[in-house]
Chains A and B, each alone.
Chain A
Amino acid sequence: MLRALLLILSVVAIAHAELCKPDAQNAFKVRISIKTALGDNAYAWDANEEYLFKAMVAFAMRRYSSKSTTQISNVLLCNVTDRVSFWFVVTDSSKNVTTVPGSEVEAAIRMNRHRINNAFLLSDKTLQFLKITSTLSPPVEPSTPVWLIVFGVVLCLIVAGIVFLIVSGIQKHRKKNKESTERENLEEKVEVTLENGIPCEALDLKAGHINGVFAADDDRFTSL
């Protein structure tokens, strides 16, 4: 009894070793860079993390094919290195000792990539599934390009400045014109009251009418 059990276990183990090895059919290589992603908060990669990984892959397979037949034991890991990198393969429990086709696994992983990354606090770059390309997220683009808004602001300021300067220039021009016409009017008025170059106001004074030379000599002349 015990010997039969041991035989079965060894057969299974050998079968598993056959299924999961580097470059096996339907096997994928995974490369994890924890220190690059987390720096000082890096955790160590141990058997527990491997268990979580198997669980996540099984979860992905279940979600993808929506049949709850994939178990954690279906996911086989092998060749774990210090890098941390390893190969994994998903077996099919319904069919004996075969692996799930690589395309199905790839589609499942791709569908749930985000969840798998988050479980390990990693990203597409630091949790790499070689041979599985990730769809790149499009950059966020606002409806109006930002540069157009900035341009509008700058242009408004410039136009406001130009209008202000032109208007102030026109006002100054008008004021200068008004001043020059006022000055002309003033000169005209002054001209009217100029007599021989002498302003009439000055002529109104006595000094203009009476000749001081003769006035002073009044007592020299005999009165008439």
Chain B
Amino acid sequence: LSATPETPKEDGRPKWDNKFQYILSCIGFAVGLGNVWRFPYLCQIHGGGAFLIPYFIALLFEGIPLLHLELALGQCLRKGSIGAWNTISPYLGGVGVGSWMVSVLVSLYYNTVLTWVMWYFINSFQEPLPWSVCPLNENRTGFNEECYESTAVNYFWYRKTLNITPDIAESGTFQWWLILCLAACWAIVYLCTIRGIETTGKAIYVTAIFPYLVLTIFLIQGLALPGATEGLIYLFTPNLNTLKNPRVWLDAATQIFFSLSLAFGGLIAFASYNPTKNDCEKDAVTVAIVNSMTSLYASIPVFSVLGFKATTAYWDCLDRNIINVINEFDLPEESIMRQNYTSWISFLNSSYPEKIAGLKLKSCDLQEFLDQSVSGTGLAFIVFTQAIILMPGSQAWAILFFIMLFSLGLSSMFGNIEGVFTPLLELQIIPKSAPKELLSGIICLISFLIALCFTLGSGSYWIDIFDRYAGSVPLLVIAFFEVIGVVYIYKIKRFSEDVEWMTGRKLNLFWQITWRFISPLLLLIVFMAFVTLQMQKPPSYTAWNPKYESFPMKEEKVYPPWVQAICVLLAALPCVCVPLVALFHLVKQKRRSKEPSLVPPEVSSCQGANS
């Protein structure tokens, strides 16, 4: 055994330029769009500050242990997901294949979300912003009807961007502007991942750090906006009663899990480019804590802006009522102000109740406007864009906001693509003499062609399906098998020796307990609860249908059977790889007429593989 642990292993494997690049890549992968548009929403609907309790418990017992496991695994075995799991045991190779498949599916639809972000970005250079005004109808007598009945922001999103069809079964046509943006997005991904971590390592300096700058700018601006404090108070006021609802705990567990991008194989790939003598324990804790702090940090400007928007909407509501009253009673201008509105109304109601009733004044309640909670694409493309119109210098804010979203998504894409790229590189799909640029080019080209489906009229419905089914259940299953595989098949004793060798100190009891019992149990519970909740009602979606009676409300529709079959396929395909590959190996072993054993004799470990 070589006694010089400091000499870098000359196995020709690419490596990070420095430790900071590696940590930044992991943080960039973990910190994504969900930190901005899912976590604040969950905080809001689950009792504000009280949500942090289940969130941090899930982080401690589920997030950090699983993260440590993946990083240690990749660092020890120095292979991508497929290679690593094949090394642990050929029967567990299916886990690697499953995570590879999930990375492929998620990359496809995630980049389409970035396409939408890019579309909004390139539209932010106009004055006035295109989502602030309704276009006129054909004979120029009024505004476009669909736009007039909903809002200009909704119209720009559903009509001008998505050109959405009223039903998922109607595919509609290809939207050429989205195809252009999709091509540009995949070109950017190709540009950054062209030589694997050699190029992403340089790009990550920008894409991982820039969002923090913009968030800080938005924080400063957001806090200065009127109504920001209402939004923040609303967000953080703890309501401990919500903790009695098991749904809150489930949401916290799933949020931590998906937020840290576990089970994609990307983290294993990143860690595999590390030198083996690296403190993976500290890395895991660092990345997890930075991810959670970012979520909290991002929710402050988000909720300042939402509070500002709710306050402005409330003032608009009041102003509209005031104008109606003034016009009806011919009172002088500025006689009724927002402050004395209620006293005036009560006075007028007592003197002229029929007139007041005839006006049909809307009741303006600030709480109601604050309660309108939105997450996901609705938050970014509808609510936030509306708020940006109201800010002075809207173009600059829009440009900054969309560049920030793009960077957040791009750094997560690096991790996804790395999860696809590294295993393929190791499987030697292309001959070794061919350059790496060719493989990344092929991956990006094929993904672009498949993702063209999402630029159809019904594309956004399909993206919702991918998000709900491909990017959720399979990950839970794969993570469960990851923990079980390492702890019970590779054996925890050998793994803890490996980790000791890598970090240089004895494995803490905390990791032993969580890896052996707590994390698998938690994963099992979360998986059961998640599946149960999904099965409770038939899967449905909300469609944007201008011909619906209660338009602009979205129409609730059920998925047709063939779509439901695709949902099941998306969720089941990565999961089914695990038993399939195990079965395949069993058959292969039986054919060789050897004794089938769970652990083949020559399983290598960290120290063995590198001596």
- A residues sitting closer than 8 Å to B (CB atoms) are 31, 33-36, 81-85, 133, 135-136, 138-139, 146-147, 150-151, 154-155, 158-159, 161-162, 165-166, 169-170, 173
Please tell me if the beta carbons of A150 and B122 are within 8 angstroms of each other in the complex. yes
Q: Are A162 and B327 in contact (CB under 8 A)?
A: no
Residues of chain B contacted by A139 (CB below 8 angstroms): 133, 135-136
B194 & A166 in contact (Cβ 8 Å cutoff):
yes
Taken residue by residue from 477 to 520, chain B's Cβ proximity to chain A (1 for < 8 Å, 0 otherwise) reads as: 00000000000000000000000000000000000000000000
Q: What is the bound-complex CA distance between A153 and B435, given in angstroms?
A: 29
Residues of A with C-beta under 8 A to B190: 162
- Cα A173 to Cα B435 with chains together (Å): 8
Chain B residues closer than 8 Å to A151, beta-carbon distance: 122, 180-181, 184
Residue of chain B at shortest CB distance from A80 = B330
Contact B140 A136 (CB under 8 A): yes
**16 additional A-B residue pairs with CB within 8 Å, beyond A83-B330, A147-B119:** A31-B327, A34-B333, A81-B330, A82-B330, A83-B326, A136-B141, A146-B123, A147-B122, A155-B187, A158-B187, A162-B187, A162-B190, A162-B191, A165-B195, A165-B199, A166-B437
Candidates A31, A136, A146, A158; contact of B142 at CB < 8 Å: A136
B residues within 8 Å of A by Cβ? 118-119, 122-123, 125-126, 133, 135-136, 140-143, 177, 180-181, 184, 187-188, 190-191, 194-195, 199, 326-327, 330-334, 435, 437
CA A83 to CA B142, docked complex, whole Å: 27
List of B residues within 8 angstroms of A33 by Cβ? 333
Question: Across the interface, do A83 and B333 meet the contact criterion of CB distance under 8 Å?
Answer: yes
Interchain CA distance A11-B119 in the complex, whole Å: 70
For residue B136, which residues in chain A have a CB less than 8 angstroms away from its CB?
Answer: 136, 138-139
Q: Are A162 and B330 in contact (CB under 8 A)?
A: no
Q: Indicate whether A169 sits within 8 Å of B435 (C-beta atoms), given known contacts A150-B125, A151-B184.
A: yes
Alpha-carbon separation in the docked complex, A33 to B335 (Å): 12
Most buried by A among B122, B133, B195, B334: B122
Q: How far is the CA of A158 from the CA of B190 in the complex (A)?
A: 9
25 contacts between A and B (CB under 8 A): A82-B330, A83-B326, A83-B327, A83-B331, A83-B333, A84-B332, A133-B141, A135-B141, A139-B133, A139-B135, A139-B136, A147-B123, A147-B125, A150-B122, A154-B118, A154-B122, A158-B188, A161-B191, A162-B191, A165-B199, A165-B437, A166-B194, A169-B194, A169-B437, A170-B435
- A-B pairs, 7 with minimum CB distance: A81-B330, A82-B332, A83-B330, A150-B122, A35-B333, A147-B122, A146-B126
Contact status B125-A158, CB under 8 Å: no
A86 CB → nearest B CB, Å: 10
Residues of chain A within 8 A (CB-CB) of B333 are: 33-36, 83-84
Bound together, the chains give a CA A158 to CA B118 distance in angstroms of: 13
In Å, the complex CA distance between A81 and B332 comes to 8
Give the nearest-CB partner of B326 in chain A: A83
In angstroms, Cα B118 to Cα A150, docked, is 11
Q: Which residue of A has the minimal Cβ distance to B199?
A: A165
Report the bound CA distance from A152 to B552 in whole Å. Answer: 35
* Residues on A with beta carbons closer than 8 Å to the beta carbon of B326: 83
Give A159 to B187 CA distance when docked, in angstroms. Answer: 8
Which partner residue on chain A sits nearest B120 by CB separation? Answer: A147
Shortest CB distance B21–A (Å): 18
Compute how far the CA of A139 lies from the CA of B140 in the bound complex, rounded to whole angstroms: 11
Chain A residues lying within 8 Å of B133, measured Cβ to Cβ, are: 139
A146 near B140 with CB under 8 A, answer no
Closest to A37 in B: B333
Nearest A residue (CB) for B123: A147
How many angstroms from the CA of A170 to the CA of B143 in the assembled complex?
56
- The one of A83, A138, A162, A170 in contact with B332, judged by C-beta atoms closer than 8 angstroms, is A83
Q: What's the Cα separation between A158 and B194 when bound, in Å? A: 12
Contact of A158 among B141, B184, B331 (CB under 8 A): B184
CA distance A166 to B187 in the complex (A): 13
